[in-house]
Chains A and B, each alone.
Chain A
Amino acid sequence: MMLLCAHVPSYRLQVALRERAGVCNPSSILADQLQRGHAIDATFQAKREGVHIGMTLVQAQAAAPNATVLVHDAERCAQGWEDALDALDRVSPLIDSASEGTAYLDMRGIAGAAHDWIASAKEALGEIDLSFRIGAAENKFVARAAALVADGTVCEAGEERRLVAPLRVAVLDIEPEMIARLELLGITTLGELAALPHGPFVRRFGRHAQRWHHNAQGIDRTPFLPRAHQLQIAADLYGEGTVEHEEQVYFALRMLVERVHADLDRLGKRAALMHLQLECENGEERKLAVRIAQPTADRTMLFDLIRANVEGLTFEAPITGLRLRASELESGGTPATLFSGSDPDPRAVEVALARLESALGEAATQAHLTAGNRLESTFSYERFTPAPHCALGSVREEVPAAPVIAPPQLRLLEVREIDVVTVQDAPSFVGSPPQTVIRCAGPWRIDESWFERRIVRDEYDVLLEDGSLYRIFRQGGRWYIRGAYD
């Protein structure tokens, strides 16, 4: 299989610069937003002046005072990339849009050799005012690497490892912290990474390291996922008077949902994202994106979800126009629900989530993710979405029974420094006024982020004279409280 990779380096920055064609300042910073924004990309000149990705805009402007600040426009980027993909359709019907700025084309069965395909891709992209780099190889990673090495590079089969060897490890799309960690170990290029033994490297750096090591050897097993041709399902209501009352908005919204639903039904699709655009008499334009965790074509559910999001909005002028668009379409039509009476209603969950996000902010609905070892389990949050298998039947069959054990629960407290008196290096009196430690277990040595700043602490479980159980820790000669067993 031969793949072409069409890659636009710093795609978002290029789009922003294209929109500001009159500005020819070689030092430019791309920010996510103007107010309290962060630098998300910068030109080479700006980076030389000291701008780093992730800096606040104030810091970036202080580092490069003469730089032009450009604001990222997600919608324009998405539209621009769709145009580029449509242009590439003329080269191959099978396109995998990996991300905005990188696309892969499956060239099987297309007449000609790699250089002919590259030439036709360049011709197709001639109308797009972006600097594309085209590379050809047997797999996706190497095709992209070929594009990065030089525009028009073709990597023949068997040459993959040699081609990627001089590239820096940053090509692997890994976190900056991990790149720094590898560099500390003297690994800066893919060739050096590929030379490491596979097993020990993966054991040391985790399961993701398996992909890095394979990529460094020119192997990429990620599948080719052809994009679906985008369908537009939208309905709008303009020029039919103004609405001033909430009920009128909902009435108009219901009409739009009916129309969108009819189109979805006709095409046998379900929508995962709804875009509502409201225009006011004073020219104000409000856009609302309603994400649906479980794609649906159920009109009541669509209406309830959008309504729940609109509930929190206030307008200063009457609304003159509404436009509703469905995107991220999936095949299948309205899912048949097999819910029994006692199973959770996914629609109710979706509406509750939308209401919570509307009332308390997007960070309000989260689910825990746990990771880590036995003594020091760390955890993080991600956005809560109902498990997909809920929609397919009774949840009771899916979830294993709870274990019979009831382990002690740690309740986290605000970490604060405490007074501890030690005898023979173990805590004997804790707190102020001091309480006698009846029994103590530990220490457990916790070692975090050893490759960056060495954070080492010793944790103890202590039973105090009043019968309470706490987890405390010592770090850098000071004692802190971490939580209570509750």
Chain B
Amino acid sequence: MPASSGSAPAAAVALSPHREAFAQLKAGLDSRHQATLAARFAHSDPTLVSTGFEALDSALGGGLARGTIAVFEGDVSSGRTSVAARLLAAGTRGGFAAAIDDGTLYPPGFAAAGVSLERLLVMPVSDPLGAVRAADILLRSRAFAMTLMPAVVVKSTLWARLASLTHHAGALLLALGEQAGNELGYFASARVRFRIANVQWTDTFGPFSQLAGYEIHAQVIKNKRAAPGTDADISVHAA
């Protein structure tokens, strides 16, 4: 800050701490403003699909990118499906979504999460190649905004093909599994690992106690759009 010259140097010296404080305050506000703007810009990006959880969207840099493969990893009981259900709910609001079912899907739960079941195409497929073939046809049609499939272990050429089709279709291919294989891990644009962190019950003990919900810890282990290594805590709870 330039010092005033002339007849009132003492007053100028007295004002400087205020001006410095004001400058610091302004700089702080500017940086927060920039951060807010960046976050708003990222969230309104039409190429991104919101996961339905704000914390997870922030960790992913705004959401999952359309035209890419994303992998949700975690143990059998880790919270992956709860997050995938929210994505399916969003997918079926704007059009059709598809789920390649390895026999583990529970549609009443999807319905409770807001998935429009009449817009969800389900394909019961038992073998990995069948799952890839179904995904290939679905992506080629460009009619399904989102496809959910098990994270099967197949050759890298097949994942390369699916990645290319996903890109051209502008769809989101979401693979769910315990751990992505090397092939899928290479072609996935985002990988998120989930685990259940804290389980909540209704406060009554005994025969009337019920599962109220749980908190899920999500860690982004790969992300091509933003820095990986971020994490988020999200909460799911019964209605």
CA of A409 to CA of B99 in the docked complex: distance in angstroms? Answer: 15
Question: B185 at interface (Cβ–Cβ under 8 A)?
Answer: no
B74, B82, B121, B213 interface centre (most CB from chain A within 10 Å):
B121
B63 to chain A, nearest CB (A): 15
Q: Flag if A468 contacts B75 (CB, 8 Å).
A: yes
Residue A372 is within 8 A (CB to CB) of chain B in the complex: yes
**CB 8 Å contact bits of A95-130 with B (1 = contact, 0 = none):** 000000000000000000000000000000000000
**Interface-side segment among A158-166, A279-287, A351-359:** A351-359
Q: A359–B131 Cα gap in the complex (Å)?
A: 11
Quick one: closest A residue to B86, CB to CB? A406
On whether the beta carbons of A360 and B237 are closer than 8 Å, the reply is no
Please report the total number of B residues contacting A with Cβ < 8 Å.
Answer: 74
Contact check, B94 vs A469: say whether CB atoms are below 8 A apart: no
Interface residues of A in 342-369 (CB under 8 A from B): 342-345, 348-349, 351-353, 355-356, 359-360, 363-369
Interface status of A1 (Cβ within 8 A of chain B): no
Check: A90 CB closer than 8 A to any chain B CB.
no
Return chain B residues, CB-CB under 8 Å to A486.
74, 76-82
Stretch touching chain B among A9-17, A269-277, A393-401: A393-401
Determine whether A450 belongs to the interface, using a CB cutoff of 8 Å to chain B.
no
Contact between B119 and A485, CB atoms less than 8 A apart: no
Known A364-B124, A441-B210, A469-B211: A408·B201 in contact at CB below 8 Å? no
| Contact code string B189-202 (vs A, CB < 8 Å = 1, else 0) | 00000011101011
A21 at the interface (CB under 8 A from B): no
- Asked whether A356 lies within 8 Å of B239 as measured between CB atoms, the reply is no
Give A480 Cβ to nearest chain B Cβ, in Å.
Answer: 16
Given contacts A407-B112, A469-B211, contact A413 B143 (CB under 8 A): no
Report B182-239 residues with CB < 8 Å from chain A CB: 195-197, 199, 201-202, 207, 209-211, 213-214, 234-239
A411 x B95 contact (CB < 8 A): no
| Complex CA distance for A345 and B107, rounded to whole angstroms | 25
B209 to chain A: which residues have CB within 8 Å? 440-442
User: Which chain A residues border B29 with CB–CB below 8 Å?
Assistant: none
Residues of chain A within 8 A (CB-CB) of B144 are 344, 349, 352
- Give Cα A414 to B92, complex, Å: 28
Residue among A343, A345, A411, A463 having the largest count of chain B Cβ atoms under 10 Å: A411
Considering the complex, which residues of chain B in the window 138-152 have a beta carbon less than 8 Å from any beta carbon of chain A?
138, 140-145
Are B123 and A483 neighbours in the complex by a CB distance under 8 Å? no
From the candidates B81, B96, B112, B124, name the one contacting A411 in the complex (CB within 8 A).
B81
Choose one: B124, B196, B211; the contact of A468 (CB below 8 Å). Answer: B196
Does A24 belong to the interface (CB within 8 Å)? no
Q: Is B90 an interface residue (CB 8 A)?
A: yes
Per a CB cutoff under 8 Å, which of A348, A396, A408, A413 touches B214?
A: A408
Is B105's CB under 8 angstroms from A412's CB?
A: yes
The answer for the CA separation of A397 and B201 in the assembled complex, in Å, is 37
Once bound together, how far apart are the Cα atoms of A365 and B195, in whole Å? 32
Instruction: Let me know if A344 and B143 touch, CB within 8 A.
Output: yes
Q: Which of A355, A363, A395, A441 contacts B124 (CB 8 A)?
A: A363
B65 interfacial contact with A, CB 8 Å = no
A469 touches B199 (CB 8 A): yes
Q: A441: which B residues are within 8 A, CB to CB?
A: 201-202, 209-211
Taking a contact as CB atoms under 8 Å apart, the answer to whether A352 and B95 are in contact is no
With A368-B107, A399-B92 known to touch, is A469 a contact of B196 (CB < 8 Å)?
A: yes
Residue B33, interface by CB 8 Å: no
Partner of A396, one of B75, B93, B117, B234: B93
Q: How far is the CB of A457 from chain B (nearest CB, A)?
A: 15
Contacts of A485 in B (CB 8 A): 77, 196, 211, 214
Bound together, the chains give a CA A39 to CA B75 distance in angstroms of: 47
Contacting residue for B118 out of A387, A401, A443, CB 8 A: A387
Contact among A406, A410, A467 for B53, CB-based, below 8 A: A406
Question: A44 at interface (Cβ–Cβ under 8 A)?
Answer: no
A461→B93 contact, CB < 8 A: no
CA–CA, A441 and B203, complex, Å: 11
Note all chain B residues with C-beta closer than 8 A to A377: 108
Query: A205 near B: Cβ within 8 Å?
Result: no
B114 at the interface (CB under 8 A from A): yes
> 1/0 per residue A393-436: CB within 8 Å of B?
00110010111011111111110000000000000000000000
- How many whole Å from A26's CB to the nearest CB in chain B? 44
Q: CA A483 – CA B140 in complex, angstroms?
A: 33
CB-CB < 8 A to B133: which residues of A? 359-360
In the bound complex, what is the Cα–Cα distance between A353 and B140 (angstroms)?
Answer: 12
Tell me whether A368 and B120 are in contact in the complex, defined as CB-CB below 8 angstroms, given that A344-B143, A349-B143 are known contacts.
yes
Known contacts A367-B117, A406-B82: does B94 contact A342 (CB below 8 Å)? yes
Per-residue CB contact flags for chain B residues 104-132 toward chain A (1 = under 8 Å, else 0) read 11111111111111111111110000100
User: B70 an interface residue at 8 Å Cβ cutoff?
Assistant: no
A residues less than 8 Å from B104 (CB atoms): 411-413, 483
What are the residues of chain A within 8 A of B114 when measuring CB–CB?
401-403
Q: Which residue of A lies closest to B91 (CB)?
A: A402
- When the two chains form the complex, which single residue of B76, B95, B196, B239 contacts A405, counting CB atoms closer than 8 Å? B239
Identify the stretch in A67-75, A212-220, A244-252, A378-386 within 8 Å (CB) of chain B at 4 or more residues.
A378-386
- By a CB distance below 8 angstroms, the chain A residues around B95 are 342-344, 395
- Which residue in chain B gives the minimum CB-CB distance to A413? B104
CA distance A406 to B51 in the complex (A): 11
Supposing A348-B141, A468-B75, A486-B81 touch, asked if A411 and B237 sit within 8 A by C-beta, the answer is no
Question: 15 other contacts beyond A379-B107, A386-B96, A408-B213, with CB at 8 A cut-off?
Answer: A342-B95, A355-B141, A370-B107, A379-B106, A396-B93, A402-B90, A405-B113, A405-B237, A406-B86, A407-B239, A409-B109, A411-B76, A463-B199, A484-B77, A485-B196
8 interchain pairs (CB within 8 A)? A364-B134, A399-B116, A402-B52, A402-B93, A407-B239, A409-B106, A412-B104, A483-B104
Closest 9 CB pairs of A and B: A402-B114, A377-B108, A352-B141, A368-B107, A468-B77, A348-B143, A402-B89, A486-B81, A344-B95
B: residues with CB less than 8 A from A are 52-53, 74-86, 89-90, 92-96, 103-125, 130, 133-134, 137-138, 140-145, 195-197, 199, 201-202, 207, 209-211, 213-214, 234-239
Q: Which residues of A contact B (CB under 8 A)?
A: 342-345, 348-349, 351-353, 355-356, 359-360, 363-370, 372, 377-379, 381, 384, 386-387, 395-396, 399, 401-403, 405-414, 439-443, 461, 463, 467-470, 483-486
